[in-house]
Structure 1
Amino acid sequence: MPSDLVLVAKFGAAHGIKGEVRLKSYTQDPTAILGYSPLTTRDGRTFTLETVRPAGEVLVARVTELRDRNAAEAVTNLDLLVPRERLAGPMDEDEFLHSDLIGLTAVTTAGETIGTVTAVFDFGAGDIIDVARRGRKAVMIPFTKAVVPSVDIAGGKLVVDPPPGLLEDEEEPQ
């Protein structure tokens, strides 16, 4: 993905017969996604959100370009992006875009390299970073100030103060 584009949402399954579609928003306030419309896909298509409404864990969206169920079904699982400069104002010191964290080197407070951040997840209890380690099992680390006291995007690293046992595992099987 070009570095100037940021993933902000993903189309889900069709909803009803009039072209509405489920939408997973990755914005802090899910309904704020409406303010970022039109949204772009990796292959250059553009989609304009007309309305969104909450529906449990997702939103239901009416999209100008989707006028029937077949059109809505055709975009299932499609990532939606916006140019970085369209994101709302400056972020707080402790706010980060997932795309900025992916690729950072994770090091311990003692300076030992743990691995590379490959993903950021939110399973409902806060963000978790997935760190790939050479020759060892990947580790999921809570992305809290207590466990990750320092993030240096420009320097390409984040510092981890791992709770006891977090990094203890056997080498990955060959």
Structure 2
Amino acid sequence: MTTDRILIARIGAAHGIRGEVRVKPFGDDPLSFADYGPLQTADGKRELTVASARLQKSMVVTRFEGVNDRNAAEALNGTDLYVARQALPELDDDDEFYHADLLGLKAVASDGELLGTIVALPDFGAGTLVEIRPAGASSFYVPFTREAVPRIDISSGEVTIVPPEDHADEESGEAGA
């Protein structure tokens, strides 16, 4: 499953009184989101052009063209920013991919058992996780590491997952028994 737009950053809180905002980038290079031209909101109704961006701790303090005061900056809080896929560089390595390409893929165990579908790749601060939702059951998470996710085959639509040791117990309701 591929999409024509890729989520590249999320706008956070206002920074100061002159229209700057904190931005959480989702790429390897934290300043790269500023290199792809106008960024679109999730609904595609608004484009934002980066006027300036600078690193400050784990965030990027950013000024967008036309956002000149704190009120305008505060109105952007929580806005997801997308870039057209064709604006991004081609991936050279088979081990490289965009997270958006993993969403909707089947998660299978090494023995071929279907575990569910990949629905998200959140990062709550301790590293990226793969959220897997089994049919008719609650989601579970595995770390996005080579040990827990040893094979990604986008062309076949499958990702091999090594579930946590207690995964079978949790599914059968025996956890903590």
Q: Deviations over 1:129-160 (max 9, x none)?
A: 00011243321012222222211112211111
1:72 Cα shift? Answer: 0.9
Identity value in percent: 41
Q: Relative to 1, partners in 2 of residues 1:95 and 1:127: Cα closer, same or farther, differing over 3 Å?
A: farther
Q: Residue in 1 aligned with 2:14?
A: 14
Q: Residue in 2 aligned with 1:25?
A: 25
1:64 Cα shift? Answer: 0.8
Distance 1:133 1:48 in 2: 39
1:167 Cα shift? Answer: 4.1
Say if 2:54 is the partner of 1:53.
yes
Distance 1:166 1:91 in 2: 35
Distance 1:114 1:22 in 2: 37
Matched to 2:15, the amino acid is H
Distance 1:138 1:62 in 2: 37
Distance 1:107 1:7 in 2: 25
Distance 2:61 2:27 in 1: 15
Q: Residue in 2 aligned with 1:95?
A: 96
Q: Residue in 2 aligned with 1:143?
A: 144
Q: Residue in 2 aligned with 1:107?
A: 108
Distance 1:101 1:51 in 2: 31
Asked if the contact 1:136–1:171 (Cα under 8 Å) also holds between the matched residues in 2, the reply is no
Q: Deviations over 1:2-39 (max 9, x none)?
A: 92011001111111111111111111111111112311
Q: Secondary structure at the match of 1:169?
A: helix
Matched to 1:76, the amino acid is N
Q: Residue in 2 aligned with 1:116?
A: 117
Distance 1:166 1:125 in 2: 20
Distance 1:166 1:93 in 2: 29
Q: Residue in 2 aligned with 1:78?
A: 79
Identify which range, 52-61 or 85-94, moves more after superposition: 85-94
Q: Which runs of 5+ in 2 are unaligned?
A: none
Report how many aligned residue pairs link the two structures: 171
The alignment yields a C-alpha RMSD, in angstroms, of 1.9
Matched to 2:11, the amino acid is F
Q: Secondary structure at the match of 1:116?
A: strand
1:115 Cα shift? Answer: 0.5
Greater percentage in strand: 1
Q: Relative to 1, partners in 2 of residues 1:170 and 1:107: Cα closer, same or farther, differing over 3 Å?
A: closer
Q: Residue in 2 aligned with 1:128?
A: 129
Say if 2:3 is the partner of 1:3.
yes
Q: Deviations over 1:45-87 (max 9, x none)?
A: 1111111112222111011121111111111111110010111
Q: Deviations over 1:71-112 (max 9, x none)?
A: 111111111100101112324222221111111110111010
Q: Which runs of 5+ in 1 are unaligned?
A: none
Say if 2:137 is the partner of 1:158.
no
Distance 1:102 1:167 in 2: 23
